Chain A
Amino acid sequence: MTVHYSYASDSEGILFSDGQGSTQADELHGWHKQFVGLNFAVGVSGRGAILEGLFDYLADSVGTDSAVESDFLAGAIESFFDNEVVAQHHESAHVLFCHASSPSQHHVRSYYPGVFKKFGKPSPNGMLGSGSPYISDAMKRQELLGIAIPMDTLAQKLVAAMHYSGIANESLTVDDQISVVLLQNGKTYLIGDNQPGHRNCCIPIIARWDEIHTLWEPLKAHAQSINSEIKAAYRAFAGVRSGGLTRPALDTINACNSSIHSSLSSLQQDVEALIDWYDNNAR
């Protein structure tokens, strides 16, 4: 039970995942359903046994250390379902990935094996998992209210991912244990709350995970505080619905705006510092 949300602009991408693993007997909190390669990040939802099998298959056939083409990755995942999974269980899993074809080309592709034989075409975004309807509904509400979520920079993508993570947490099966993959310049950067499994990403990342987690914590807190500033501004603005917007409310909005502006700038610097550290220490 999980949620994956992925967004890609030309030069950057993000895959964030929030969830827990469940079996008939128990729940496995913090079980991240991602497979992260050099230039791609796969998110999966569904039956645990299928996901485990897929990760083993990808570790052997694709690997985590080399860049691969989008069609090669899609073909490998499709082959797994065609050759390894009994057809009646195809609908038990869904897959998406965020891929960097080049430093300036990123996209998302989604796959529903129970319905389609192949991955869909590249698109700017995708989501799946039991928490995804909550995000989808929120996006529709935002659109109705004229609220646009900026996604121009990695900092803005991270803030948006945390925003949607909070929404997905309305689902009881999403537990706020977040795993995030940033994509920039054709490479992936895995960060998050829980240590990834040994076959979910390359060895250097696992070896340096304590340091990666230490870098992640302030980024997460910073993104959460920015979202809270945004919420405070919206709350202050709410008086407009009765024509009761006051000077103190306008002052609050102005203070939030100033804080958000400076915070996004410093968060972007921190994200770039993390990427720089990663390139020098975890490749």
Chain B
Amino acid sequence: MLAARSEMNVDAAKVVSKGFPTDEGKVLARHVLKESGNQLTGLTIDLTDCQSAMLISAFFNSFLQHIYDTDHTLLSDAKKTNWVLKFDFQREKVHGWMNDFSPTDS
């Protein structure tokens, strides 16, 4: 019987820098995939210390797209990521982006 994997918590402020949101979303995705060993079940990412200007549609779409590009089968778990955010408007928007994301096949 496989042992249950402990949930992974990521402090995004320690991973992303001040580049463009599209690029930083990819950086975060690479970090998460590397640290999790491609196991994204129960993933929590804390964004409370990230600048609000970073947390836009391009950031989250880029994050999900990179995960999809790496392994299609991981997208479903990635969309269930528990995003920890500072403000209500951010929570509402991220919820929408997670639901609405549709990957592009390159």
Chain A interface (Cβ within 8 Å of chain B)? 217-218, 220-222, 224-225, 227-229, 232, 235-236, 247-248, 251-252, 255-256, 258-259, 262-263, 266-267, 270
Do A256 and B89 touch (CB < 8 A)? no
If A218-B87, A251-B104 touch, does A225 touch B20 (CB 8 Å cutoff)? no
Return the contact of A228 from the options B54, B93, B96 (Cβ within 8 A): B54
Do A255 and B61 touch (CB < 8 A)? yes
Do A224 and B61 touch (CB < 8 A)? no
4 closest A-B pairs by CB: A221-B52, A228-B53, A232-B58, A255-B57
Do B51 and A232 touch (CB < 8 A)? no
Contact count A vs B, C-beta below 8 Å: 64
Most buried by A among B61, B88, B89: B89
Q: Give a binary string over B58-93; 1 marks a CB under 8 Å from any A CB, 0 the rest.
A: 100100000000000000000000000011111011
Q: Does chain A have a CB within 8 A of B41? A: no
Do A218 and B20 touch (CB < 8 A)? no
Q: Does chain A have a CB within 8 A of B22? A: yes
Do A228 and B89 touch (CB < 8 A)? no
Do B56 and A252 touch (CB < 8 A)? no
Do A232 and B52 touch (CB < 8 A)? no
Do A225 and B58 touch (CB < 8 A)? no
**Chain B residues, Cβ within 8 Å of A247:** 104
If A255-B61, A259-B93, A266-B89 touch, does A224 touch B53 (CB 8 Å cutoff)? yes
Do A270 and B89 touch (CB < 8 A)? yes
How far is B96's CA from A255's CA once the two chains are assembled, in angstroms? 11
Nearest-CB distance from A210 to chain B (Å)? Answer: 17
How far is B89's CA from A252's CA once the two chains are assembled, in angstroms? 20
How far is B86's CA from A224's CA once the two chains are assembled, in angstroms? 14
Return the contact of A221 from the options B21, B61, B87, B96 (Cβ within 8 A): B87
